[in-house]
């Protein structure tokens, strides 16, 4: 399965970074661009479990496409959230279901992520897929 264009562009951007330091700076750049997350949505059903940081994800369906919002109290994790949101926003639930987390290896980020951060990434990704899948059972 090939990646959606939005994720492909992100992967290519990270591949062009010549060092882990530059990849981290890119990730922090994504974190800074993440829109503010409503405090009212920081509730249990939106929380990502299995992360050392506090992470929240919401999803809505608009014209058959999924749109996410998210936040984290840790900047690097917030960057991972922003990367996933930018990569998955505007896709259909079926398109999201077909994406596997393997693309993270292609970015070169896994080399410098701690095991707990890498695990957190997978938990965030899984919650986003679960929320997208919930829209397929509603229709």
Annotation says 97 is catalytic: no
At 135, list the tokens. Answer: 């829209």
Interval 35-81: pLDDT, tens:
999 999 999 999 999 878 999 999 999 999 999 999 999 999 999 99
Of residues 51, 66, 118, 128, which has the active-site annotation? 51
Q: What is the pTM of this model?
A: 0.94
Coil, strand or helix at 38 = coil
Domains of the chain: residue spans and CATH: 5-36+48-138 (3.90.1010.10)
C-beta of residue 77 within 8 angstroms of C-beta of residue 88: no
Summarised one tens digit per residue, pLDDT across range 6-43 is 999 999 999 999 999 999 999 999 999 999 999 999 99
């Amino acid at each position: 399965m090939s990646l959606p264009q939005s994720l492909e562009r992100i992967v290519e951007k990270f591949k062009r970074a010549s060092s882990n330091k530059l990849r981290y700076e890119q990730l922090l750049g994504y974190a800074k661009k993440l829109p503010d997350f409503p405090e009212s949505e920081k509730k249990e059903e939106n929380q990502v479990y299995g992360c050392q940081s506090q992470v929240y994800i919401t999803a809505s369906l608009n014209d058959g496409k999924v749109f996410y919002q998210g936040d984290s109290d840790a900047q690097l994790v917030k960057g991972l959230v922003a990367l996933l949101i930018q990569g998955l926003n505007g896709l259909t639930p079926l398109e999201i279901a077909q994406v596997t987390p393997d693309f993270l290896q292609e970015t070169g980020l896994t080399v410098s992520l701690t095991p707990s951060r890498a695990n957190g990434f997978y938990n965030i990704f899984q919650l986003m897929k679960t929320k997208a899948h919930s829209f397929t059972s509603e229709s």
